[in-house]
């Protein structure tokens, strides 16, 4: 398999975690978002949306959107499972994953931040304040959702799921702008437990071949 991705992209980070958890080898193909490589014509044939990540399967199929990719990996390589077997538990995992992927991430991805800078002319600290605000609001909701679930090592149970694959990259990115995570006790315990696992460590941005100082 091949993964077209960017080291700092949280959506790419999610898929790298899933691949590592499942022990699946893949070819790392960097697409530098800041340099605009995702907008070049050569990438349009790979990703009509011009977004990363894109997973190229062994059969040559091109899959986009991180959550769809992770579910594909779980269906084609069932062990270790990233979704619980019981329907209600699967729904909780998907809800937490979507809380990050749909409620937090879209407000803070690179194209939004570029629009705030280039079109609305907001200075860097104002943009960072925007970022911190929406990450904090979203993770407060995540914390409240966790409070309704049984105590566990990870977000939902004692093995990592796609919820954890989404949570960890968001916390990484929020740290880059000094987001306040105080009071998010259960969320941060989950993060710390995840980061003890080699799969999460190997998938983090600083461990990627295109990472920058």
Same domain? For 62 and 162 the reply is: no
Q: How far apart are CA 14 and CA 168, in angstroms?
A: 8
Q: Give 190-196 contacts, CB < 8 A, sequence gap 24+.
A: 190/146, 190/153, 190/154, 190/155, 190/164, 191/167, 193/153, 193/154, 194/154, 194/160, 194/164, 194/167, 194/168, 195/168
51 inside domain: yes
Average pLDDT, the chain: 95
Taking CA atoms, 83 is separated from 12, 80, 88, 97, 111, in Å, by: 19, 9, 11, 11, 30
> What pLDDT does residue 23 have?
98
CB 195 within 8 A of CB 201: yes
Domain at 96, CATH number: 1.20.1050.10
Q: Is the pTM of this model over 0.85?
A: yes
Domain at 71, CATH number: 3.40.30.10
Give tens-digit pLDDT for 140-185: 999 999 999 999 999 999 999 999 999 999 999 999 999 999 999 9
> What pLDDT does residue 124 have?
96
Give tens-digit pLDDT for 164-175: 999 999 999 999
> What pLDDT does residue 40 have?
84
130 inside domain: yes
129 inside domain: yes
Same domain? For 117 and 68 the reply is: no
CB 46 within 8 A of CB 54: yes
* Burial category of 165 from C-beta neighbours within 10 Å (exposed 0-12, middle 13-18, buried 19 and up): buried
Q: How far apart are CA 202 and CA 100, in angstroms?
A: 21
Does residue 31 have a pLDDT over 70? yes
212 inside domain: no
Pair of tokens at residue 200: 């999460």
Residue 54: domain span: 2-80+201-207
């Amino acid at each position: 398999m091949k993964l077209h991705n960017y080291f700092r992209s949280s959506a790419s980070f999610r898929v790298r975690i899933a691949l590592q958890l499942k022990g699946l080898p893949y070819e790392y193909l960097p697409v530098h978002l800041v340099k605009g490589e995702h907008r070049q014509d050569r990438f349009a044939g790979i990703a009509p949306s011009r977004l990363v990540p894109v997973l190229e399967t062994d059969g040559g199929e091109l899959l986009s959107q991180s959550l769809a990719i992770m579910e594909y990996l779980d269906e084609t390589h069932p062990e270790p499972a990233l979704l619980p077997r019981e329907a209600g538990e699967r729904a909780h995992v998907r809800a937490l994953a979507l809380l990050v992927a749909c409620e937090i991430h879209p407000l803070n991805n690179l194209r939004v931040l570029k629009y705030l800078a280039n079109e609305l002319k907001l200075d860097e600290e104002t943009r960072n304040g925007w970022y911190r605000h929406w990450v904090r609001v979203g993770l407060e909701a995540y914390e409240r959702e966790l409070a309704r679930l049984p105590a566990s090592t990870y977000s939902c149970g004692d093995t990592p799921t796609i919820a954890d694959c989404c949570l960890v990259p968001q916390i990484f990115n929020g740290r880059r702008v000094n987001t306040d995570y105080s009071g998010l006790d259960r969320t941060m315990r989950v993060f710390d437990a995840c980061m003890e696992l080699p799969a999460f460590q190997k998938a983090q941005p600083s461990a990627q071949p295109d990472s920058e100082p």
